């Protein structure tokens, strides 16, 4: 399982459009803050109060309803350990995972002894609410929901999240992964007061360009977060990430400019797909899923040979023939389109 997360070193050279990263990097204010770190700050364990307050203010929640995590991945693992470990002999907690989904949901569920219940997607990748509800049982402990979805970019309706939250058994939680919410502008966070069994996960890797520093946040009712807080290691978020996230939140103009680049890039990708006869799904995130059919893997390989890396999802159930392309800086997208046209037109 872990092998899927290992990437060859050469993938750090070239145009990385396969990881949904911020292709423009972080704000210059982040670099200034990192450069100002003192020897004492590096030598001491990091304080979290100021960063927690800054992140809570940004998300519009009380600080006691938010915990920082070492990338949202750590929050997902903490959720699995906190809610999906068997409680006794014969117990097999279940996690419902609407597909397609972030692979780590299923990995972490299995690692802690839980059972992933995978729900097939609708043909248009809309949220399969009825099938999710059909899978809820007394053994359900977690329902994973991603909005916008990765890799489709399709939003999950807020009302669907409400419905699932009302239907899960007592003691179960709904985990809403909002890694791409900055791009959609839609969040379940304002409704958390009414739904104490929902946890929302956010990351500063995407819109804020802090993927290399690994910092995210989980937010929800303090009682619901407590099993996760007991799992997260002490001082798991390092001082560089603590300083960087505060600086990033002080430069929202940078984020807004990047979001504008993402929107322009997506429109360029849509237009290119229309020209090339490729199906695609309108995305609320910073990437676009396209259907290249039997040419998908060959296209990804040929693009990589030209220094442009795309995510080949074509061998995964429900994603046959599909590639995911990161949409960031417009100049990067233009290069990507140039390569795709070169490969497909040259092969025609």
CA 136 to chain centre: 24
Does residue 347 or residue 84 have the better pLDDT?
Answer: 84
* Whether the predicted pLDDT of 5 surpasses 60: no
Q: How many CA atoms lie within 13 A of 277 on its CB side?
A: 5
Tokens of 201: 């996960």
Strands (E), the chain: 15-16, 66-69, 94-98, 115-119, 140-146, 173-177, 198-203, 216-219, 279-280, 287-291, 308-309, 311-312, 322-326
Residues 84, 142 contacting (CB under 8 angstroms): yes
Residue 209 has pLDDT above 80, yes or no: yes
* Residue ranges matching CATH 3.90.1150.10 in the chain: 9-25+253-347
| Architecture, CATH, for domain 9-25+253-347 | Alpha-Beta Complex (3.90)
CATH fold for domain 28-249: 3.40.640
Predicted TM-score of the model (pTM): 0.94
For CATH 3.40.640.10, the residue range(s) in the chain are 28-249
Among left, alpha and beta (phi > 0; psi -120 to 50; other), residue 18 is alpha
Which DSSP letter does residue 121 get?
P
User: What local confidence, expressed as pLDDT, does residue 186 receive?
Assistant: 98
The β-bridge partners of 308 are 15
Tens of pLDDT along 274-324? 999 999 999 999 999 999 999 999 999 999 999 999 999 999 888 999 999
């Amino acid at each position: 399982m872990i092998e899927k997360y290992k990437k060859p070193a050469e993938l750090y050279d070239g145009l990385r459009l396969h990881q949904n990263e911020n292709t423009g990097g972080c704000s210059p204010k982040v670099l200034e803050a990192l450069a100002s770190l003192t020897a004492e700050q590096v030598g001491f364990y990091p304080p979290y109060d100021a960063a927690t307050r800054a992140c809570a203010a940004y998300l519009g929640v009380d600080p006691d309803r938010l915990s920082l995590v070492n990338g949202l991945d750590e929050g997902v693992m903490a959720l699995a350990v906190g809610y999906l470990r068997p409680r006794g002999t014969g117990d097999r907690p279940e996690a419902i995972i609407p597909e397609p989904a972030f692979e780590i949901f299923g990995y972490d569920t299995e690692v802690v002894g839980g059972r992933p219940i995978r729900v097939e997607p609708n043909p248009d990748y809309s949220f399969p609410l009825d099938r999710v509800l059909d899978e809820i049982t007394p053994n359900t402990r977690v329902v994973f929901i991603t909005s916008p979805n990765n890799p489709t970019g399709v939003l999950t309706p807020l009302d669907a999240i409400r419905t699932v939250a009302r239907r899960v058994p007592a003691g179960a939680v709904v985990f809403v992964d909002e890694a791409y919410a900055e791009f959609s502008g839609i969040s379940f966070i304002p409704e958390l007061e009414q739904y104490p069994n929902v946890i929302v996960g956010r990351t500063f890797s995407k819109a804020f360009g802090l993927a290399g520093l690994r910092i995210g946040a989980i937010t929800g009712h303090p009682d619901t977060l407590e099993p996760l807080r007991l799992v997260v290691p002490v001082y798991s978020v390092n001082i560089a990430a603590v300083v960087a996230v505060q600086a990033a939140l002080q430069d929202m103009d940078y984020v807004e400019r990047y979001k504008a680049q993402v929107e322009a890039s997506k429109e360029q990708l849509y237009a290119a797909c229309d020209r090339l006869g490729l199906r695609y799904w309108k995305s609320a995130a910073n990437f676009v899923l396209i259907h290249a059919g039997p040419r998908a893997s060959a296209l990804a390989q040929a693009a990589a040979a030209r220094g442009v890396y795309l995510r080949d999802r074509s061998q995964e159930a429900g994603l046959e023939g599909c590639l995911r392309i990161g949409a960031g800086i417009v100049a990067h997208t233009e290069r990507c389109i140039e390569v795709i046209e070169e490969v497909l037109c040259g092969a025609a």
